[in-house]
Amino acid sequence: MPAGDSDTARHILETARTIAVVGASPRPERPSHDVMAYLQRHGYRCLPVNPGQAGRDLLGETVSARLPDLPQAPDLVLVFRRAEETPPIAREAAESGATALWLQQGIVNEEAAAIARAAGLAVVMDRCAKVDHSRFFA
């Protein structure tokens, strides 16, 4: 069963200020771009992570290749990558000092969740941060 009930999701969105967006896309039609722009409009600092876009500007922030390359530790690591790619991201999230790992809607990986939980991170899977934010705080 996917992790992260509404209370967990709400708490993460209430307490996070800096969000690493793994898989951030420069293409406005992509969900990661839309969600990142939405979260920025609602006061979060979103740090894009995408090795293919590293060094470029995305929505006013410089794209980092990986989580260890970020200019500051994120509170939340928000992931837009295939489920099978998430365990190494969970390890980097744990090492980055993040307090939460969020796998976007449609992404579930129990191994990644276990890695994050073992490091003390809150975990949400298969939920949309934009949808949850608008539902909790609109």
Reported as a single tens digit per residue, the pLDDT across 87-125 is 999 999 999 999 999 999 999 999 999 999 999 999 999
Give the whole-angstrom CA distance, residue 34 versus residue 48: 12
Using one digit for the tens of pLDDT, what is the confidence trace for 68-81?
Answer: 999 999 999 999 99
CB of 54 closer than 8 Å to CB of 65: yes
Q: Mark residue 82 as left, alpha or beta (left: phi above 0; alpha: psi -120 to 50; beta: remaining).
A: beta
pLDDT digits (tens, 9 = 90+) for 37-59: 999 999 999 999 999 999 999 99
On whether the CB atoms of residues 80 and 46 are closer than 8 A, the answer is no
Kindly give the interhelix angle for 86-96 and 110-118, rounded to the nearest 10 degrees. 10
**Helix, strand, or coil (residue 137):** helix
Q: What is the pLDDT of residue 3?
A: 59
